[in-house]
Amino acid sequence: MSSLERRVAGKRLNRIDGIGKVTGKHVYAADFALPGMLFGKILRSGEAHARIARLDVAKALALPGVRSVLTAQDIPQIRFGTAIKDRTMFAEGEVRFRGEAIAAVAATSLEIAEAAVRTIEIEYEPLPAVFDPEEALLTGAPLVHAGWNDYQALPVFDREGNISGRSAIGGGDVEAGFARSYRVYEHRFTTQHVHPGYTEPRAAVASWDGNGDVIVWTNTQLPFDMKNMLAEVLDLPASKIRVIVPGIGGGFGGKLRVGVEHYAAWLARKSRRPVRVITTSEEELTDAYPRQPTVVTLKTGVSRDGLLLARQGRVILDCGAFANSGPATAAIALQVLAGPYRTPHLAFEGLAVYTNKGATGSFRAPAGPMANFAVESQIDLIADDLGIDPLEIRLRNIYREGDTGPAGETLASVSIEECLTKAAAAIGWSERKPGEGRGKGLACSWWLTTGGSSGVYVRINPDGTVTLISGAVELGSGAITGAAQILAEELGVDLTDINVTDVDTHSSPYDYGAQGSRTAFSVGNACIAAATDLRRQIFELVATQWNVPAASLRLENKSVVGGDKRMSLADVASLSQRMGGGLISHGTSIQPMPVFDPNRVKHHPLPAWTSHSFHAHAVDLSVDSITGEVSINRYVVAQDVGYAINPTYIEGQIEGGVAQGIGQTLSEEIVYEDGRVLNANLTDYKMPTMMDMPRVECILIEKPSVNGPYGAKGVGEPPCIEPPAAIANAIAVASGVRVQSLPITAEKIALRMNGGR
């Protein structure tokens, strides 16, 4: 840890967007409205895979109050997508999942729009469908995209038929490793669809101005990506698209990609009026970007004393009808499956597979909870079989400083031992089964801090305040407050002196977006760069005035100080405004890619992780012997954050991530039956309530990264990775029942305790 005493960074300061949010004055995208605005509504497919035989919108067009109706006929045939351009705005002749958009209506009220959608006549001719990703891999399985080979795709991905992406990582000789092993274990784990659960639905208002530019107010996490996506779908130069983000009521990776924005923009274009589109709960649970279900098989050979010798694994990831981030997620799963463990012989393969279900996406720590559930459940199974304590077997296998990672990269700032021992100590690991029906479990993992560039403009105003203009959005995590704390620290001002502007792609500098645990990290670094340049500008200006060397000046107490002279920052800014156009700088950051061994990875978009974090979770829970109901007594997280820029908001991230993890573990699942979602409402899609949540005890470990601001590492995603495995391991101790499929419902536990399967 740095011995440097900091005034602003590292402090538990109130977030800059806090007052507006707790007083209800903050404007979120779903609050945004314009005069004369119309309301858009989407007609969705009632079939999972079918040819559209007839589509007639005449009655909808004739309904009073309806201003426009759009189908695939009315717009250019443009395919878009993150990894593969496999999706269209409306189904073109063929629907590929139940819930796919077929038409859209804009009307003077939402009720009229809904009524109009119900009048649209449609006839289908059903086609063979496939719902199970393993069946989709079989020879002769129906193809979700018969024309897959003609789609444009990022060259890194290896595709074939229903496989939208295949990747691999590993080295050594697993067969030789298994042959040398004392025992070899094979297990299979399955995980489910879960929704990101943001409070605010996806919302967009679009309006076209006199120049033929379209302005879209939306709660997207990636405004610049959205701008480019809309340019594609609207068939316009990107400079004609202006994306503004008023406020976001949570995203968790579910608001990365286009959802309602293109419908709002096209309907507004056709209607010549502003149009708003907001999703309903039913739409969220049938056509959003939930976490992909997976089937993970893992074969592990160990020595007599529990050292991992060889591991072979396969992750089958069900990406639904469109690939979106599936191929990348199946690839990232492989590093999670490796875990923070040394393994001489490793062969992992990831497959993203199309099925006739809704698309999926990059929910917080994509692939993290699924792959971690497999590896960390299996480590406990192996420990039990060998008679080794689960903490001990982990400590024997974890990465150490300078070890080689799965892609052959050299690992630095490795803190997994400290995470494990502190979490175990806090939960009282020496007493793993404190009583009948009660047990404790552990799980650990590692995760990356995503790169991507950030730019900021920073201006010092003549009143001494500082304006931070960034293209990064505040998702609700407090990340922008964290970046502002770094900026205040660097400029010698208070956090309350910093103002942050809303994101507007016409004027904000580029940012890679609120994804991958990177906002505070990357924007913080850009702020350091901007502040460095501002200090140079300030010192050069004042040096000229005072006729002293710039190097003799320093910032202190919101003033420039040199010898016995002092000038306030406000006066320097005024001076600069009079003499040189003001104090403004452009700071940028990009995280360098680490060196890795290309022979160890195939078709992998993120072959080696950067500024990785380590973490361990420990839980103490009780299982009801009759109902199987799980009650969590205590929950501990020890997470290496590199440097805690604002401990309060880091703890908030950990608490929220654990809540989402508990939901995925115990109660949440989008249930499909033959392509139909059975629980497309918030009565039966069960996110945990306050009554289900324990207090989460956070232990922040600060082992600095090389690249992060003041050594910080990415914080936001990791907390939802370990809960499934930690809780599964504790349930096994408490009840004697080992459940290898998520969610671990009370029903699964109770039926197994009572002799069923």
Partner 1 sequence: MGFAFHRPETIDAAIGLGRQHGEAARFLAGGTDLIIQINRRRLAPQHLISLAGLGLDGISETPTEVVIGAMATHDAVVSWPGFQKELLALPQASAVIGGRQIRNIATVGGNIVNASPAADLVPVLLALDATVDLSGSTGSRSLPLDRFLVERGRTERRPDEILTTVRFAKPPAASATWFLKAGRRKAMEISVICVAVHLVQNGKARIAIGAAASRTVRVPEAEALVEKQGLSAFREAGQIAADKTTPIDDVRASARYRKLLVAKLVERALAACADRIERADP
Identify which range of 47-55, 536-544, 682-690, 700-708 contacts partner 1 by CB under 8 A: 682-690
- The contact pattern for partner 1, residues 63-102, with x = CB under 8 A and - = no contact, is ----------------------------------------
Q: How far is the CB of 192 from partner 1 (least distance, A)?
A: 13
Q: Which is nearer to partner 1, 137 or 671 (CB)?
A: 671
3-state secondary structure of 716: coil
Given 137, 154, 590, 746, the residue binding partner 1 (CB under 8 A): 746
Tell me the torsion sign for CA atoms 742, 743, 748, 749.
positive
Given 597, 679, 700, 741, the residue binding partner 1 (CB under 8 A): 679
Q: Report yes or no: 639 and 435 within 8 Å, Cβ to Cβ.
A: no
Given 79, 270, 686, 738, the residue binding partner 1 (CB under 8 A): 686
Residue with the two structure tokens 């790169």: 451
Q: Which is nearer to partner 1, 700 or 753 (CB)?
A: 753
Does 109 contact partner 1 by CB under 8 A? no
DSSP single-letter state for residue 311: E
Phi-psi bin for 557: left (phi > 0), alpha (psi -120 to 50), beta?
left
Q: Which is nearer to partner 1, 613 or 667 (CB)?
A: 667
How many of the other CB atoms lie within 10 Å of CB of 740?
18
Given 249, 688, 704, 711, the residue binding partner 1 (CB under 8 A): 688
Give CA–CA dist 27/729, Å, rounded.
Answer: 43
Q: Report yes or no: 685 and 283 within 8 Å, Cβ to Cβ.
A: no
**β-sheet bridge partners, residue 696:** 635
Does 135 contact partner 1 by CB under 8 A? no
Residue type at 359 in one-letter notation:
A
Q: Torsions phi, psi of 442, nearest 5?
A: -130, 150
Strands 38-44 and 101-107: antiparallel
Residue with the two structure tokens 């229903």: 162
Instruction: Dig out the tokens for 74 from the structure.
Output: 């009315």
- The contact pattern for partner 1, residues 425-444, with x = CB under 8 A and - = no contact, is --------------------
Given 678, 700, 737, 741, the residue binding partner 1 (CB under 8 A): 678
Instruction: Dig out the tokens for 685 from the structure.
Output: 């899609």
Q: How far is the CB of 441 from partner 1 (least distance, A)?
A: 20
Instruction: Dig out the tokens for 268 from the structure.
Output: 């507004």
What is the residue-wise DSSP string for 73-132? GGS----B-SSB--B-SS--SEE-STT-EEEEEEESSHHHHHHHHHH-EEEEEE------
Q: Torsions phi, psi of 40, nearest 5?
A: -100, 150
Given 305, 684, 706, 736, the residue binding partner 1 (CB under 8 A): 684
Q: Which is nearer to partner 1, 465 or 679 (CB)?
A: 679
Q: How far is the CB of 354 from partner 1 (least distance, A)?
A: 25
3-state secondary structure of 42: strand
Q: How far is the CB of 690 from partner 1 (least distance, A)?
A: 7
Q: How far is the CB of 382 from partner 1 (least distance, A)?
A: 31
Given 221, 622, 667, 705, the residue binding partner 1 (CB under 8 A): 667
Q: Which is nearer to partner 1, 158 or 692 (CB)?
A: 692
Q: How far is the CB of 109 from partner 1 (least distance, A)?
A: 11
Q: Torsions phi, psi of 670, nearest 5?
A: -80, 115
Near partner 1 in 690-729, by CB under 8 A: 690-692
Q: Which is nearer to partner 1, 551 or 691 (CB)?
A: 691
Does 747 contact partner 1 by CB under 8 A? yes
Q: How far is the CB of 215 from partner 1 (least distance, A)?
A: 31
Identify which range of 1-9, 377-385, 459-467, 739-747 contacts partner 1 by CB under 8 A: 739-747
Q: Which is nearer to partner 1, 577 or 679 (CB)?
A: 679
Q: How far is the CB of 626 from partner 1 (least distance, A)?
A: 4
Residue with the two structure tokens 């380590």: 614
Give CA–CA dist 40/634, Å, rounded.
Answer: 46
Q: Report yes or no: 741 and 620 within 8 Å, Cβ to Cβ.
A: no
Q: How far is the CB of 667 from partner 1 (least distance, A)?
A: 5
Q: How far is the CB of 689 from partner 1 (least distance, A)?
A: 4
Query: 111: Cβ–Cβ under 8 A, 6 or more apart, which residues?
Result: none
Residue type at 241 in one-letter notation:
I
Q: How far is the CB of 106 from partner 1 (least distance, A)?
A: 19
E-assigned strand segments in 234-365 = 241-245, 275-278, 294-302, 308-320, 345-354
Q: How far is the CB of 750 from partner 1 (least distance, A)?
A: 6
Q: Report yes or no: 30 and 201 within 8 Å, Cβ to Cβ.
A: yes
How many of the other CB atoms lie within 10 Å of CB of 125?
11
Q: How many residues bind partner 1 (CB under 8 A)?
A: 26
DSSP single-letter state for residue 72: G
Identify which range of 344-352, 353-361, 508-516, 679-687 contacts partner 1 by CB under 8 A: 679-687
- The contact pattern for partner 1, residues 616-655, with x = CB under 8 A and - = no contact, is ----------xx-x-x------------------------
Q: Which is nearer to partner 1, 4 or 690 (CB)?
A: 690
Does 111 contact partner 1 by CB under 8 A? yes
Does 180 contact partner 1 by CB under 8 A? no
Q: Which is nearer to partner 1, 46 or 161 (CB)?
A: 46
Identify which range of 32-40, 322-330, 475-483, 664-672 contacts partner 1 by CB under 8 A: 664-672
Does 745 contact partner 1 by CB under 8 A? yes
Near partner 1 in 472-511, by CB under 8 A: none
Q: Which is nearer to partner 1, 599 or 681 (CB)?
A: 681
Residue with the two structure tokens 């208070």: 494
Task: For residue 743, say if its preceding peptide bond is cis, omega within 30 degrees of 0.
Answer: yes
Q: Which is nearer to partner 1, 3 or 683 (CB)?
A: 683
**Residue spans of alpha helices (H) in 555-646:** 569-580
DSSP single-letter state for residue 239: G
End-to-end CA distance of the chain: 51
Given 2, 430, 568, 689, the residue binding partner 1 (CB under 8 A): 689
Near partner 1 in 311-330, by CB under 8 A: none
Given 666, 721, 731, 734, the residue binding partner 1 (CB under 8 A): 666
> For residue 216, what is the enclosing H or E element?
strand 214-218
Q: How far is the CB of 650 from partner 1 (least distance, A)?
A: 27
Overall size of the chain counted in residues: 757
Q: How far is CA 448 from the centre of its chain?
A: 12
Give the footprint of partner 1 on this chain (CB under 8 A).
111, 626-627, 629, 631, 666-667, 671, 678-679, 681, 683-684, 686, 688-692, 745-747, 750-751, 754, 756
